[in-house]
Structure 1
Amino acid sequence: MGMSVIISAAKAQDAEQVLKLQYLCFQSEAELYGNYRIDPLVQTLDSVRAEIATNLVFVARLGEEVVGSVRGSADQEGTGQIGRLCVHPRLRGHGLGARLLGAAEAGLADQRSATRFRLHTGHRSEGNLRLYRRAGYATVGDATGQDGVRMILLEKEASAPAYVTSA
């Protein structure tokens, strides 16, 4: 009998697994942009620990293994920032990314009083853009990240549907 993937708040002791998973997952993004200095690949373990201590960080666990993660924070205006959503390559395509995104949104709305959500992804990241659009996000602009990658900025209101099915 197989195990179920459980989504929960990250703990301090998860930091190393989160960082290793992030490094694995963002290799395909780095390849897509021909840039192996993208922010998720140069993040330090100490900064992941700090994020877990101060922000909302959710992990997906398969037994003891962290197989997905997402981070969220909120600003003074009530905008929840969601980032670093990643799912282990062997588990992609099963809705885990959508579940993690939903957990981040729910946590930001409930615990940080977010009224709107904002995230970004690289302009060539079609799979990510599909996921976010299905989840109700709309493009609101673009910007070039510190790593030189052009990012598409997306937002949705917290009251928007969590997931939009295609007709």
Structure 2
Amino acid sequence: MGMSVTISAATEQDAEQILKLQYLSFQSEAALYGNYRIDPLVQSLDSVREEVARDCVVVARLGEEVVGSVRGRLGEDGTAFIGKLCVHPRLQGHGIGARLLRAVEAALTEQHGATRFRLHTGHRSEGNLRLYRRVGYETVGTDQGSDGVPMIVLEKPAGTYAQTA
């Protein structure tokens, strides 16, 4: 009998699993851009620990295993910045990413008063763009990541939560 994936706030003990999952999950993005120095692949464990302690970090678990993760933090103008959404490659395409987005958006709104959400993804990341657009994000501009990857910036107002199906 299979287990259900549960969504919850990350704990300090999750930091190492989050980092390992992030490293595994972002390999396909690195290959897409021919750049294995993208931010999620060079982040340190101490930096992940700091994010878990400071920011709104949500994980998806299958039993004890962290199989998905996303981070959010509130900016000064009520805009919440969402990043490093990742789902284990073997579980992608089953709605876990949308569930994680819904959970982090709800937490950022309810606990921190977010009025808008902003995120970014690489310009060639069609799967990511499809997910973000499906859950209500719209392109508002472009940027360049610190790793040199051209990025598409997307936003949506708070209250228009991701569908979980």
What TM bracket, shorter-length normalisation?
over 0.9
Q: Which runs of 4+ in 1 moved over 4 A?
A: none
One-letter identity of the residue aligned with 1:4: S
Aligned with 1:94: secondary structure? coil
SS at match of 1:61: strand
Alignment of 1:36-47 (within 5 A): 36-47=36-47
Q: Is the 8 A contact 2:99 2:164 kept in 1?
A: no
- 8 Å CA contact retained: 1:115, 1:158: yes
The equivalent residue for 2:28 is 28
Unaligned runs of 5+ in 1: none
- Normalization by structure 2: what TM-score? 0.97
Q: Which moved more, 1:131-140 or 1:156-165?
A: 156-165
CA-to-aligned-CA distance 1:44-71 (integer Å, 9 cap, x gap): 0000000000000000000000000000
Partner amino acid for 1:54?
Answer: R
**Structure 1 SS opposite 2:107:** helix
Q: Does 1:159 align with 2:154?
A: no
In the TM superposition, 1:14-163 aligns within 5 A as 14-163=14-163
The total of aligned residue pairs comes to 165
| Root mean square deviation of aligned Cα | 1.3
Q: Deviations over 1:108-163 (max 9, x none)?
A: 10111000000000000000000000010000000111100000000000133534
Task: Return 5+ residue gaps in structure 2 as ranges.
Answer: none
Please give the alpha-carbon distance, in whole angstroms, between the structure 2 residues aligned to 1:66 and 1:164.
Answer: 19
